[in-house]
Amino acid sequence: MKSNLFWAAAVSIFFIAGIAAQTTPPRKAPLKLLQSISLPDLKAGDFDHFAVDLEGHRLFLTAEGNGKLLVFDTSANKLIHTISDLKAPHAVLYRKEFNKLFVVDGDESAVKIYDAQSYQPAGKVGLAADADSMAYDPTTKYMYVVNGGRGEKKPFSFISVIDLAASKKVRDVKINSDRVEAVILEKSGPRLFCNITGANSVGVMERTQSALQAEWKLPAGVQQNVSLALDEKHHRLFVVTRKPGRLVVLDSDSGKLIANLPAVGMVDDMAYDADHQRIYLAGDQFVEVFNQKDADHYALLLRVPGGFRAKTGILVPELKRYYLAVPRHGNSAAKVNVYEVEP
């Protein structure tokens, strides 16, 4: 008799659990795919970084493996122009006050400058080989560009400071590592953060100086830190590594470790969404979206399907859009996925 009662109770529990599962609403995806812009003329090869012109309704994308800069209309979601005289474009910046596009070309060892309306060449600033990532300070009109190191077969790299108003290099900041990746500037203060990838550390310096003031080591066992993002309100610096894929959260004042979470592999671009307290990681096959519960606690919210080596993405909060560049793979043409950011 007790056995029969036990089984009856068990069946009831499973039945109730089943009803609850069916009535629980599915989790709403933080990114909703609106459209894919096909790029059938591109060959296989990586993309690197995006930039945006909000007023002009334009989006710029460096097709590193194709030696091109692509220009899109963000209202119509279509390709409207291609600059083809580049070798290995990495970072790109549009500045309305100069009516110029500034493209960091690694194989050209220069920042190449173009008229932002006609797209015609308008000069260049020479750098060391393997020029790559950059950050821009709109107050001083200075661009900070990573170059040198491995590409120069040297044990040190540079962060070169370029005055965009004068189109000339101001100075070099020497970094004692053959590989430096992302650079990010705080808006509320004078500091610059950089990924010293060759040393598995993060460098910190005041932008008026010519040397690092601090170097923060990453946790043991994580290597190849490539991407950076910053939450200035909560004093948090986000670092993504590739070996293995990890999201590392540091106190941006002290370098203290706050969190260390598994993450998608091959991330190249990361964005912090202050409006929704999320972090977007563009990596191989997926865009991972992390939830910032509070300054000290983080959790994976959802993995959004992306594409093969689709590691280039940009969040444009003003448009409530997230753009992801997906390279050609096999018979699948390259494309740019346009997502709506969901609340």
Q: Which two tokens stand for residue 234?
A: 């909560």
Distance of CA 36 to the CA centre of its chain: 20
DSSP 10-79: HHHHHHHHHHHHHHSPPPPPSEEEEEEEEETT--S-----EEEETTTTEEEEEEGGGTEEEEEETTTTEE
The sign of the torsion formed by the CA atoms of 56, 62, 68, 73 equals negative
- The hierarchical CATH code for the domain 28-44+223-343 is 2.130.10.10
pLDDT value at position 201?
98
Return the bridge partners of 71, or none.
Answer: 60, 81
Query: At CA 134, angle to CA 131 and CA 137, rounded to 5?
Result: 140
Beginning with the edge strand found earlier in the chain, give each strand of the sheet holding 78-83 in spatial order. 50-53, 58-63, 68-73, 78-83
Whose tokens are 């109770």? That residue is 9
pLDDT value at position 18?
46
pLDDT value at position 284?
97
The sign of the torsion formed by the CA atoms of 216, 105, 269, 138 equals positive
CA dist., res. 137 & res. 280, Å (int): 23
pLDDT value at position 7?
39
Of 299, 191, 300, nearest to 255 by C-alpha is 191
Which residues, given as ranges, of the chain have pLDDT below 50?
1-24
pLDDT value at position 27?
67
Check residue 274 and report its DSSP letter: T
Q: Where are the alpha helices (DSSP H) in the chain?
A: 2-23
The pTM of the full predicted model, rounded to 2 decimals, is 0.92
pLDDT value at position 28?
80
CA separation (Å) from 143 to 84, 135, 183? Answer: 23, 6, 10
**In the chain, where the domains are located:** 28-44+223-343
Q: Map residue 197 onto helix, strand or coil.
A: helix
Task: Give the length of the chain.
Answer: 343
Q: Which two tokens stand for residue 89?
A: 């474009």
